[in-house]
C-alpha cells in the first residue's frame, strides 16, 4: 500500500511538471506566432488551465517532500508530546478542509460534464476538462493528508517531518 501511495504522489508531481512544461511551450508558441504574424487563439486560457492543474497536482508531492511553506516557530519549541498533539490537530483540520474542497471540486467538475458546459473563450472546450486537474489534485492531496494523519495517529512522524530540512540559520 505504501508503494502505491508513493507512486500516486510522485505521478501527480510528474504531471504537475508536465503542465509547467506545457505552459512554457504555449508561451513560446504565442511568441513565435506573433513574430510570424499568425493568430493563435486562447493560448492564455490554456496556459491558465495548465497552471491550475500544475498547482493542484503538485500539492501532495510537495507536502511529502516538506516543500510547503510552514510557520513552525512555536511548534518547534514544544515538548515532543505537545508537538505531536498539535501536529495531529493541524492534520485533522487540514484533512477536513481539503476533503470538503476535494468533494466540491469533484462535484463541480462532474456537474459541468453532466450539463455539457463549455468554456467562454475563442476555442470552446468542455469545462470539465480544465476542472479535472484541480479536482484530481485536490483528491490526491486529501489522500496524502489522510495518509499522514493516520500515520501520526499510529505514532509515526508525518511525511514532512521525516525529510531533513535546512533552517535559515543553518544555510547562512
Residue range of the domain that includes 15: 2-165
Q: Does any domain span residue 49?
A: yes
Q: Return the number of other C-beta atoms located less than 10 Å from residue 45's C-beta.
A: 17
Per-residue model confidence as pLDDT tens for the chain (172 residues): 889 999 999 999 999 999 999 999 999 999 999 999 998 888 999 999 999 999 999 999 999 988 877 777 788 888 989 989 999 999 999 999 999 999 999 999 999 999 999 999 889 999 999 999 999 999 999 999 999 999 999 988 888 777 665 555 555 4
Residue 126: strand, helix, or coil: strand
Q: Does any domain span residue 91?
A: yes
Q: Does any domain span residue 171?
A: no
Q: Does any domain span residue 141?
A: yes
Which one-letter DSSP state was computed for residue 36? T
What pTM was computed for the model?
Answer: 0.87
Residues 158 and 75: their CA atoms lie apart, in Å, by 14
Q: Does any domain span residue 172?
A: no
Residue 63: strand, helix, or coil: helix
Kindly list the distances between the CA atom of residue 139 and the CA atoms of 11, 98, 143, in Å, as whole numbers in the listed order. 14, 8, 6
Q: Return the number of other C-beta atoms located less than 10 Å from residue 136's C-beta.
A: 19
Over the stretch 130-148, which tens digit does the pLDDT of each residue have?
A: 999 999 999 999 999 999 9
Q: How far apart are the first and last CA of the chain?
A: 40
Helix axes 128-153, 2-35, angle to 10 degrees: 150
Q: Does any domain span residue 170?
A: no
- Check residue 169 and give its pLDDT: 52
* Cβ contacts of 104 within 8 Å, gap of 6 or more: none
Considering its fold, how many domains does the chain have in total?
A: 1
Q: Does any domain span residue 117?
A: yes
Amino acid at each position: 500500500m505504501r508503494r502505491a501511495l508513493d507512486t500516486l504522489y510522485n505521478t501527480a508531481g510528474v504531471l504537475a511538471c508536465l503542465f509547467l512544461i506545457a505552459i512554457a511551450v504555449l508561451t513560446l508558441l504565442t511568441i513565435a506566432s506573433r513574430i510570424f504574424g499568425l493568430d493563435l487563439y486562447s493560448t492564455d486560457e490554456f496556459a491558465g488551465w495548465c497552471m491550475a492543474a500544475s498547482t493542484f497536482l503538485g500539492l501532495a508531492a510537495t507536502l511529502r517532500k516538506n516543500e510547503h511553506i510552514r510557520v513552525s516557530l512555536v511548534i518547534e519549541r514544544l515538548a515532543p508530546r505537545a508537538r505531536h498533539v498539535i501536529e495531529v490537530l493541524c492534520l485533522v483540520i487540514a484533512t477536513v478542509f481539503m476533503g470538503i474542497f476535494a468533494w466540491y471540486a469533484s462535484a463541480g467538475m462532474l456537474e459541468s460534464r453532466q450539463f455539457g458546459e463549455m468554456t467562454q473563450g475563442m476555442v470552446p472546450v468542455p469545462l470539465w476538462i480544465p476542472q479535472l486537474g484541480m479536482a484530481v489534485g485536490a483528491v490526491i492531496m486529501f489522500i496524502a493528508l489522510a495518509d499522514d494523519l493516520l500515520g501520526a495517529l499510529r505514532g509515526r512522524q508525518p511525511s514532512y517531518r521525516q525529510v531533513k530540512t535546512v533552517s535559515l540559520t543553518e544555510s547562512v
